[in-house]
Each structure stands twice: as structure tokens, then as C-alpha cells.
Chain A
């Protein structure tokens, strides 16, 4: 099941993320792809709201910290990763990502290529791009039943 949504403003991108967050019922792994400035972090801000992360947390870019974690509702945690600065699968092991992925977490990974090389399987992949008018084109790809179920709830 695939879906494509076009958002015209940051607020729309955020709202789309929030809808996804509201559709989540358990642990989930999301891959976000797309160039710098395409709205990935903006989307995660909305996702955090949808997951019930306390508004006291500013959802900031994890590029520098690599992993940002936030307690969420439904017994979940939001782990926001950005692998942009990592150079190899070995470095990935060094940040202890296996420990993170084992627990009840909604894991969102920007620049996920290293994890894919490591044969990690995501439940959902979201591709962010611009169209000619600089709207954001956000494509959802479900890979597996968990991902399909979330998309069904989100777009039903």
C-alpha cells in the first residue's frame, strides 16, 4: 500500500506527521529520505505531537546529537535518529543502535542508508521531495504488515 501527499506549507507537513503519529499503536521503524531542507524534521515535529510527546520538548534536528529520544504516550518512546554524519556500519554499532531498536520505540531515521546496508528492515519508508513549485511531495511506502496497518489507519 503506497500513498503520495503534497503539502504546501510547513504546517501541512507537520499536520501530516501528526496524523501518522495518531495512527501508531506500537513499535514502528520509519525511514525518511530526501534532500536537505525537504521537511523531514518538520514532519517529525508533527509525528511527536501525534504520539503525545510533551509539548515542553522542542523537537530539534538530531544531526549533531545523532539520536534524540522523547517519552511518548501509549507506553512508547520516540527515537529520532540522523545518520548523516556517520561514515560506516561500524560507527553505527558504536552508537549502540541495537539497544535502542530493541525496546518499545517509534524509531525515525533520517539518512537511513547505512541501516539499510546493514539489512535493517523498516516498516515504513517516507520519501520527501520538492515539486516544481517547491511544494513538498511526501510518498509513503509500507514494507510489511505493520507498516500497512499504520497506513490504513492513517488514511482511512
Chain B
């Protein structure tokens, strides 16, 4: 079965075609496409109304690149939430209309479950049951994944997401946006122990996160010390990154221990941070736990993961009707 996936939950308009749940035929992301050239104007990634301009060309390009025709598509999957309502509506309504017009089944995909499914597009995929961290600019959630359809959320952030902390510290250091790649590059191989920032581990039995205190500690350090040269900034970047990584590793290994899992998966934008993945792999290796991260192209928001999740939902009869709507967030 070939499924068209559509993602528009935040600031990327993306479309992909996936065959048999796990084989990517094409994956197109608007920020990588010269849509604005074709349309004679810049497309600000952020704006939901701009998704409207991007969606049709992105879907057409995905079909082109897959080397198939529209008639070969057998199912449609679109992100239904959580995310920005106006942005979600564009992709989800497009998918509804597409599915209705062609008489195809439609899956309304949870964005976070799609990130988990990006691991099934990765070879080798983790074995059930496994622990999965979805970590990005908007989310930091730990799941116990028991099957393709069973995701038990064990923890989440209580304030800032990890990726957001990277962005904000980058802003404090005048390093620009997005913060993740800049901070990782600047931290490089610097010794992270020259500054000690707090690790907020919350309650011992909790798998929740809190990065707001770390953010304040970095602000305070910058305020009290002269942080002007790139070397100074590099020291702060390395120490900050180490604090985030420590907390993520600690909670993930704790979750794996509590659920007796031999595999840990990481997905979402921050899992593109190679320093994090390397540190987690090393620490997990000591406990005989294997770490799996998707290729960088599947870490950030993309539609291939949405198609992969949707294909499984369609196969298992979890179909959306035309009366289904998008949702901005999930009640915990």
C-alpha cells in the first residue's frame, strides 16, 4: 500500500509517499523547496496561511519524486495534532479533501506518535518493547512503546522543551536561530566541566523534565561573568549542552531500567545532536542497552513519519471521518 503523508503542525509544510509502512518513496519539506520562487514571493515558514500556498506544490513534488501517479496513492495520512491549530488545519483539510475526492481511507496522525514511527523507517528498527524519547523544540516526552499502536507516556517537560532551551541559550549568547546546531558546533570538543550548571532531575521516580531552571542559571552566569569571546561562549555552550544531555540520559536510562527494555529510541529535532546520541549510546552500552536514532533527515518534522504512522493506522482500521477535527494539545 502506498500512503501519502502530510505534515503541517508547525513551520514546515511537508509531503511524503511511503510504501508498505516503512519504505520511503519520496519526502519533501517546504523549507527545502524553492516554492517561493515558483510563486514569486517569499514563504515565511512560520505562518499558517503560508502553508496554504505551499501544500499543493509540495504534494505534487512528492508524487513526482516518487515516480508514481496520483492514482497509485491508496491512503492518506495527515497530522491532526498537537500543534498550531491554523497550521494543522491546512494539512488536515487538504488530506480530508484529497481522501474524500478519491475515496481513500484517511488517518489523523498524532504528531508525537509519528516521531516514534520515524524509528521504524530506520534500519535496524528498535525491538518491542522499547523506550522512546521524542525531543524537539516543542516536546520532550518519554514513551514506553509496546507495539506499533501502544505508546504509554511516562514523562514530559513541565516547562520548556529541550530544543527550546537550546534556542533560548543560543539567543542569550547571540548565536542565532535555530540554536541546536550552533550550540553543538560551538561546544565542539571543549571540556564541559569548566562551568557547572544545575541538572534538574525532579522527583526520583518521575520521568518528567524541567529545563527552565537551567535556562535561568545560564542567564545568571552570563550576567555575572564576562562572556564575550567565542571561547567564552563555547565554554558556556559546552557546559549547557552537557547539562541537558546528562538529564536526558539519566531519565532515559532510568525509564529503560524501570520497564526492563533493551532498546532506547530517540527522535525529534534534538536527536540530530550527535553529541547527545553519542553520549547516550556510550552510557547505555555500559548497561547493554542499544540506542537507535533516525537519520538526520528524519529527525526534524517530516511527512514520511506521518505516512508511516498513518499506514499502520489504516491497516489496523483506525480511520478518520470527515467530521474529525484537529487538536492543539492533549489533556494529560
Q: List A residues at the B interface (Cβ < 8 Å).
A: 35-37, 41-42, 54, 56-58, 60-61, 63-69, 85-87, 90-91, 94-96, 130, 134
For the complex, what is the distance from the CA of A54 to the CA of B330, rounded to whole Å? Answer: 12
Given A37-B219, A64-B10: A94 touches B160 (CB 8 Å cut-off): no
Number of A-B contacts (CB under 8 A): 94
A61 and B160 contacting across the interface, CB-CB below 8 Å: yes
Q: Within the complex, what minimum Cβ distance (angstroms) separates B178 from chain A?
A: 10
B331 and A42 contacting across the interface, CB-CB below 8 Å: no
Contact of B44 among A35, A41, A65, A91 (CB under 8 A): A91
Contact of A61 among B164, B177, B328 (CB under 8 A): B164
A66 and B84 contacting across the interface, CB-CB below 8 Å: yes
Q: Within the complex, what minimum Cβ distance (angstroms) separates A134 from chain B?
A: 6
For the side of the interface on B, what is the size category? 35 or more
Contact of B160 among A60, A68, A87 (CB under 8 A): A60
B138 and A65 contacting across the interface, CB-CB below 8 Å: yes
B137: chain A residues within 8 A (beta carbon): 63-64
B159 and A61 contacting across the interface, CB-CB below 8 Å: yes
Contact of B49 among A42, A67, A94, A130 (CB under 8 A): A94
Residue B168 lies at the interface, judged by CB distance under 8 Å to chain A? yes
B46 and A86 contacting across the interface, CB-CB below 8 Å: yes
Output the residue of B10, B47, B161, B177 with the most chain A CB within 10 A.
B47
Contact with A along B145-157 (1 / 0, CB 8 A): 0000000000011
B21: chain A residues within 8 A (beta carbon): none
Residue B83 lies at the interface, judged by CB distance under 8 Å to chain A? yes
Identity of the chain A residue whose Cβ is nearest the Cβ of B136 in the assembled complex = A64
B215 and A36 contacting across the interface, CB-CB below 8 Å: yes
Residues facing A in B23-65 (CB within 8 A) are: 44, 46-50
Residue B172 lies at the interface, judged by CB distance under 8 Å to chain A? yes
Residue B329 lies at the interface, judged by CB distance under 8 Å to chain A? yes
Residue B196 lies at the interface, judged by CB distance under 8 Å to chain A? no
Given A36-B168, A94-B44, A95-B47: A68 touches B161 (CB 8 Å cut-off): no
